[in-house]
Amino acid sequence: MNIRKVVIPVAGWGTRSLPASKNIPKEMLPVYNKPVVQYVVEEAMRAGVEDVIFVTNRDKSVIEDHFDYNLQLESVLERAGKREMLEQVRHVAEMVNIMAVRQKKQLGLGHAVLCARELVGNDPFAVMVGDDLMFGDDAGLQELVRVSKERSMPVIGVMEVPADRINRYGIVTGEEISPGVYSITEMVEKPAVGTTSSRLAIVGRYVLTPDIFEHLSRVKPGHGGEIQLTDALAALARERGMLAVKMGGLRFDAGDWVDYLSANVYLGLLDPGLRDGLRARLRAMLG
Ligand code: UTP
């Protein structure tokens, strides 16, 4: 399977991130020195994706703007001789092709993906949740793209979570067919703690085939009254089979404050210019 397009849903209300997200999309909140969604797009690029389809709403056009030129800013930087900054700002506009489609009602992640149907067309494609961050060498969407190419099957990313947190995720049960690769037998969205022994949680990375859209158009509102992507995935898995890949690297949910703050510290500690100062402050704060 050749994956050239990725759908990145960014149309949610971001209520967990309020009040920060009242007028700034949570996907645009900075983590270290970039907005959340830029890391997601950079990860897509590393996986070889060329076209990004944002599923947005009326208040989120600033996300598309971030990946466009800002000629006024560029000329200010040019005149000030700030070459390096100019290159960085331009680079963001030149990373990928950007398309956008509106989700007019926030009916859930599955519905957001369905909104991209026309723009995706008939090829396999990727989905990346716009507030899910993955860091680490060779980690991220590319892991799934590799397996989907080898096996010509839809692949979703999973990570192990503690047993008392399974009710926050879609949980997958499967048979391990090679190290870290599972053939999925069952999938359930946010099961109650203790109702399944699996701890493989779906994280926001998927490589899908276009027949998912048929299933999405048929699924009824599920958990939380939303059109759940997991319900359509379960139907697709039953119909044609699906793999889950245990992903490497570190994951941060930018919509969760502990994860959001941790991601900032993690990236700050990787910056040689900040590391020592940041360490000293953290040490002092931790007493
Ligand atoms: P979340 O459930 O984390 O986002 O969805 P949310 O609904 O915006 O956040 P909270 O729970 O109220 O804080 C994961 C991703 O899916 C998008 C969101 O923008 C986020 O990037 N999403 C969610 C949509 O595009 N449409 C939806 O209807 C729901």
Q: What is the pLDDT of residues 195-239, one digit of tens each?
A: 998 999 999 999 999 999 999 999 988 878 889 999 999 999 999
Q: What is the pLDDT of residues 106-135, one digit of tens each?
A: 999 999 999 999 999 999 999 999 999 999
Question: Is the separation of the CB atoms in 45 and 89 below 8 Å?
Answer: no
Any atom of ligand 1 within 6 Å of the Cβ of 55: yes
Nearest to 10 by CA among 126, 109, 141, 117: 109
Any atom of ligand 1 within 6 Å of the Cβ of 8: no
| pLDDT tier, 138 (very low <50, low <70, confident <90, very high otherwise) | confident
Q: What is the pLDDT of residues 101-110, one digit of tens each?
A: 999 999 999 9
pLDDT of 17: 97
Residue nearest to atom 1 of ligand 1 (CA): 12
Question: Is the separation of the CB atoms in 189 and 231 below 8 Å?
Answer: yes
pLDDT of 103: 97
Locate the DSSP E strands across 194-281. 200-208, 243-246, 250-253
Taking residues 87-104, what's their average pLDDT? 95
Any atom of ligand 1 within 6 Å of the Cβ of 188: no
CB count within 10 Å of CB 194 equals 10
CA 2 centroid distance within chain:
19
CA of 183 to the centre of ligand 1 (A): 27
Q: What is the pLDDT of residues 30-83, one digit of tens each?
A: 999 999 999 999 999 999 999 999 999 999 999 999 999 999 999 999 999 999
